[in-house]
Amino acid sequence: MALPLAPIAAVAVKYGALALAGYALARQVRPGHIAQPLEDALDDVPEGICLTRPRDADQINGTARLRRTIRLGHGGRGVELDAAFLARVKLRWV
C-alpha cells in the first residue's frame, strides 16, 4: 500500500517554518537581568490605579497593581497573580 506523501509534506513544511521562526525569534531575544531596586519599587506600588501630574513637570506618572489568588475548585491548588506597572508619559508642545 502506497503512503501519500503530499499531505505529510505540506504539514511538515508548515510546522517546519513555524519551528524555524520560533528558533529565529529565540536567537534574537536578549537575556535579561533582575535589578533589585526596581523590584523593590514594584513591591511598594499600592493596589489599584493611580495617576499623578506634578505641577512643575510636563508629565503624567501612573501606577497600577493587581493582586489576585486564583484557585481551581474549592480546595484545589491556587496561583497568586501579582502584576505591577509603572508608566510615565511626557507631552511637550513643539
Q: Which residue has the higher pLDDT, 10 or 66?
A: 66
Cα–Cα nearest to 64, from 51, 79, 77:
51
The pLDDT confidence band at residue 9, using thresholds 50, 70 and 90, is confident
pLDDT at residue 39 tops 80? yes
**Looking at the predicted structure, is the pLDDT value of residue 19 above 80?**
yes
pTM for the whole structure: 0.56
Q: Which residue spans within the chain are E strands per DSSP? A: 48-52, 59-71, 78-90
**Predicted local confidence at residue 84, as pLDDT:** 93
Q: Rounded to whole angstroms, what are the CA distances from 86 to 16, 42, 64, 69?
A: 39, 8, 7, 22
Given a cut of 80, is residue 1 above it in pLDDT?
Answer: no
